[in-house]
Structure 1
């Protein structure tokens, strides 16, 4: 007969070994006396004898609070200790204080024959052996001392693939997960930085009922001092959101108020509740100090033994569990997260860290067996940062969709967690309803595939996560017909309450029911959503209007090297980009919406870039392809981000922008189009190319036409802007041979 469910559930919540030992002690006593109730004192003695015998055998066991040996524990303390498992098992056990006996509740006892009692005994023994095995092999003391001894010198070494990174991201979470009181309700993660070494490395334990990221909510975390003189076990709270929302001074005041509230809710008797935690002298680590609710300090070279460390951790986790139980049962969790969830905590990423993060993304893509041209990942990143709408164009099979998927995957956004969505465009899409949704005959709103993602992305608990939407083959239908509403809403981006927000995407006339109004009302495009469209340019597709081109960077995938083979050394690279999964969406979100946002700090670069565009515009006016302020601002933002993050030279960056924002606008069959292309080619080649910019030299060079020298593996002429020069050569070829040219038909 199977055990009653109330009995099988007793070990679901992982705590100390006390419950298992108590059950085994009770079963031994019941068998010895063949009674339904046995002496409580005898059971307590068996309980104590177990721990004394294990310690005498040299095995690690849970310690009595404040003592190294169970044999030193007084009887009064033993009574307090055993009360913990008695209370935890009160739904199946009964203690009679009048005759000092203990046994199972009568309704449980009736279901426990010898067979069932043996099952329960095996279950308790299995749990106890598993618990003790975890205690034996795990040396938390050794890991903490190792980190403090090696981290300072490690920061002088290459960040990528470093052993300490693996220790924090993989080894330590795996080892801690084996501790019996850390079950599946907890997420464990560590970090030594994102692309560069962190000033304060950390190892966090998060209860998934209230948070799954260190960027919000409350959690338990080991914080290492910058000088590695100490490590602190802390009860902590998300920090950057209130600072971002309220400013540093008011944000600090908010955190201190929250600290007092939590300290009032919990005893935290075994922890320090003062302000004496010291991680750094200045910088971001001070935020961690302010957000700390309570802490235990371990000094380098004097970290206590594993028994004490695990006891401390278990005590802190018990306080954490009580806190989460309280806020979730009373509903206070929503109030608690009101500020943090609205804005989410950013990691305050430093500009110099971006290069390292992009390197990790590239490494992830290469490990998957895919290779893209030099600077393409940087260009894709800068394009997304400039505007959350990017077009990837080119022939079929060049990896456009794969780039989006792998880039998103490296940042922790996958189809499984809903942060990456592929939406195949259909040829019969003729209005926004196919994408956004429609009202059915019953009056209910039926959301489209894009609307469903936007609803999920704007949820408070998801506000910090990046969401990628890939519109596959988006020009199979006319983009202006089904995408116009979204393009218009994107143009309404504005700063409100420290976030980028847009006007509503779903008209209120579509939402008749109160349920629909709650779910879809006031739905704009959240700042954590990034749209990427892939397009194939052939006879089955539709061209883009300037309205679409003005609002996106167009990355082209037409130049393919079929002799690029997988590099096994890349496949074997050990660097793990998993820590990027916690990267805040602000890594991709635009910092500027209007040029005035960036002008003062980047005046010289903005003026230089604008002067170039003025000269180009003078040429484009001849074919009515000149650009306006929207394109001017987008190009300036791209150039500013590139300079901030030091990803490419200024000429390389401008080359990409000339290729992606200017050339897609040019098409036609008139001689004026040829004149514009030739003048642009002259500027793209620059001085010293050795090429006379005329049709004859471009098309009929004695060695080979210029456009073929880029395509056939020959050495092309030195060019100031080689990407644009190559494209211009192909466009001129089309014009010469077919009498018509376009960016899309080269």
Structure 2
């Protein structure tokens, strides 16, 4: 009945690099015990799970100790499996999820296991009390053994949306992504429902969009993944057209895009997603003009005259707030460049792969199985829509943010690439969403992301036009006595993460654009 010695040993070992678990008991009070400090790599959150068949760590419910080392916090939780959605549920009420507990106590977002429920938390600054530990664990085990797994779906509140939960689920599915890039993607969707993913070919742009929609949607009717054709010259591949020979008939596109938008208008409580793969194989302005227009005007797209159309297609179509559009972009001799009109209306997220990320990927490579993500985040969908509808601006560090934006505006104006009121508004909303999703981001990191996604994508032109402004913009990103060309642009081994660099993402991008302009006589944000 005494588990205190084992738990104490677990806490001490978690502070070391030792991942072995062979010295731990295999059972306690008739339950099998699983202990983990990580597999291959040291886990950020070691755990001890107490299991009774048919429950497993991958599929079930179980008492579990979770040690959040960076918070010096131990949690005894009503555990809920992350890998597969358990068919059983805890027969409890009013308990907080770990996500909610962290939010209420200003702890940021938990790295993992946010869907499990708090039974007891222990601040380890003063150690742990043997009697308290044993009393709490024995009580939870009694609740677990008596639990009949009744559904409490009718009383459970929608879960708080967490980009970290999605990130961890994606890793479990074999899809590797940088955590901050994942946060940027989610924050961009919440800021405005039009996101462009660009960058290195084969870096996972389409996979990210696919993984996210499978994770948050309850079924495949809520999304479409559409490969854009090189012959798209008008809106018909997306919206169809009236049949001139049969006035009562409207010809829908075979890809189901029109049906998706009609369904999104009817099911406003569910997010819907349109993924346009290789979006720039055709001129975006030609086939996507109607969408670009109504994104700002909130008007409806006219499909046909008020007539006798009988196959359920409305005369006018609204693009609802619960429809999110994700476009993927590759740059080569077969593709087209984006105009400022398109970039103004989107958040542009660039995918790059660092040497360390590639080394980590090669050391942990495994087959991607996105099927295990299906509907895992569906209970966060309601809160995801609520967050997307929240148009709150950034308020913390607002003076610093505003001063930086005004400084960049002045330099961009010299080359005719300044931003307007809409972009300024969306930058402040993006910074707010980043603050909500990843509280540990610093003001400089959030400003850096905003510059990278909303300001730099508009830059393109000749060497003569770009080089001087790029020098000035680069100097805004770094402090100290630095000669921007000699010490940064021309230095092949410059460390963009050094302490005097305020905006490393932006400075690295500006450096690449400068080198491109020098070498090729022309540069743009989108690169091959």
Q: Fold-level match, TM-score > 0.5?
A: yes
CA deviations 1:661-696 (Å, max 9, x no partner) are 111111222534211100000011x214x64113x4
Counterpart CA distance in 2 for 1:408 and 1:138 is 32
Compared with structure 1, are the counterparts of its residues 197 and 175 closer, same or farther at alpha carbon in structure 2 (3 Å cutoff)?
A: closer
Distance 1:377 1:226, change over 3 A: closer
Out of 88, 113, 117, the position equivalent to 1:173 is: 88
Are residues 171 and 419 of structure 1, via their aligned partners in 2, closer, same or farther at CA, if it must alter by over 3 Å? closer
Aligned match of 1:667: 460
The alignment status of 1:512 with 2:307, answered yes or no, reads: yes
Show the counterpart of 2:349.
555
What CA distance in whole angstroms lies between the structure 1 residues aligned with 2:94 and 2:175? 27
Within the candidate set 581, 587, 603, 2:378 is matched to 581
- Contact 1:389–1:553 (8 Å) recurs in 2: yes
Map of 2:39 onto structure 1: none
Alignment of 1:89-488 (within 5 A): 157-158=74-75, 164-166=79-81, 173=88, 196=99, 347=157, 353-354=160-161, 357-412=162-217, 417-440=220-243, 441-443=245-247, 444-448=249-253, 449=255, 450-460=257-267, 463-488=268-293
Residues 503-542 of structure 1: pairs in structure 2 closer than 5 A: 503-509=299-305, 512-513=307-308, 515-516=310-311, 518-542=312-336
Structure 1 CA distance, aligned partners of 2:97 and 2:315?
37
Kindly indicate whether the alpha-carbon contact (under 8 Å) linking 2:83 and 2:169 is maintained by their aligned counterparts in 1. no
| Secondary structure of 2:515's aligned partner | helix
1:526: Cα distance to partner?
2.1
- Measured after TM superposition, the shift of residue 733 of structure 1 is 0.7
Q: Output the CA distance in 1 between the equivalents of 2:196 and 2:83.
A: 37
Task: Tell me how far apart the structure 2 counterparts of residues 586 and 379 of structure 1 sit (CA, whole Å).
Answer: 18
Paired residue for 2:124? none
Instruction: Give the corresponding residue for 2:526.
Output: 744
Could you tell me how far 1:442 is from its partner in structure 2?
Answer: 1.1
- For the 8 Å contact 1:437–1:451, the answer to whether it is kept is yes
Residues 452 and 569 of structure 1: CA distance in aligned 2, closer, same or farther (over 3 Å): closer
SS of corresponding position for 1:673: helix
- SS of equivalent residue, structure 1 residue 520: coil
Distance 1:432 1:578, change over 3 A: closer
Query: Are residues 227 and 737 of structure 1, via their aligned partners in 2, closer, same or farther at CA, if it must alter by over 3 Å?
Result: closer
Q: SS state of the match for residue 391, structure 1?
A: strand
Contact 1:505-1:523 at 8 Å conserved across structures: yes
How many Å apart are 1:453 and its aligned residue? 0.9
Cα displacement (A) at 1:515? 3.1
Q: Distance in 2 between matches of 1:672 and 1:457?
A: 44
Structure with more relative contact order (C-alpha pairs < 8 Å, separation 6 or more) = 2
SS where residue 302 of structure 2 aligns?
coil
Q: CA deviation at 1:619?
A: 0.7
Q: 1:157: how far off?
A: 4.2
- In the alignment, the residues of structure 2 paired with residue 736 and residue 571 of structure 1 have an alpha-carbon distance, to the nearest angstrom, of 40
Cα distance in 1 between the residues matched to 2:78 and 2:387 = 34
Partner of 2:473: 680
**Long gaps (5+) in structure 2:** 1-51, 55-60, 103-116, 121-139
Contact between 1:659 and 1:723, CA under 8 Å: does it hold in 2?
yes
> Counterpart of 1:732?
514
Query: Of 609, 620, 628, which residue of structure 1 is paired with 2:420?
Result: 628
* TM-score calculated relative to the size of structure 1: 0.50
Give the whole-Å Cα distance in 2 for the aligned partners of 1:168 and 1:396.
29
**What is the number of residues matched between the two proteins?**
424
CA contact (8 A) 2:215 2:373 kept: no
Cα offset, 1:603, TM superposition: 4.5
User: What displacement does 1:192 show?
Assistant: 7.1
Gaps of 5+ in 1: 1-136, 140-145, 177-188, 200-224, 229-299, 318-344, 493-501, 700-704
| Cα distance in 2 between the residues matched to 1:571 and 1:433 | 34
Task: Tell which deviates more after alignment, 660-669 or 608-617.
Answer: 608-617
Q: Residues 527 and 589 of structure 1 are in contact (CA less than 8 Å); yes or no, is this contact kept in structure 2?
A: no
Contact 2:80–2:86 (Cα < 8 Å) also in 1: no
Q: Per-residue deviation at 1:409? A: 2.1
In structure 2, relative to structure 1, the CA distance for the partners of 1:169 and 1:532 (3 Å cut) is: closer
- Assess if the C-alpha contact under 8 Å between 2:211 and 2:373 holds in 1: no
Residues of 2 paired with 1:652 and 1:482: CA distance? 36
SS of the equivalent of 1:515 reads: coil
2:483 aligned residue: 692
- Cα distance in 2, alignment partners of residues 726 and 301 from structure 1: 53
Larger radius of gyration: 1
Q: Does the 8 Å CA contact 1:194/1:580 hold for their aligned counterparts? A: no
Query: Structure 1 residues 482 and 301 mapped into 2: Cα distance closer, same or farther (>3 Å)?
Result: closer
* Distance apart, 1:173 and its partner CA: 2.6
Deviations 1:391-436 (A, max 9, x none): 011232111100111122222455xx22231111111111112211
Higher helix share: 1
Distance 1:404 1:634 in 2: 21
C-alpha displacement at 1:582, in angstroms? 2.0
Instruction: Measure the CA separation in 2 of the matches of 1:715 and 1:527.
Output: 38
Structural RMSD (CA): 4.5
CA distance in 1, matches of 2:83, 2:332: 49
SS in 2 for 1:618: helix
Contact 2:466/2:514 (<8 A) preserved: no
Deviations 1:548-590 (A, max 9, x none): 0011111112435443225389999xx9996522222441555
Write the deviation string for residues 704-728 of structure 1: whole angstroms up to 9, x where unpaired: x43x436xxx776542111111111
CA shift in 2, pair 1:226/1:475, >3 Å: closer
Note if contact 1:385-1:589 (Cα within 8 Å) is conserved in structure 2.
no
Aligned partner of 1:341 in structure 2 is none
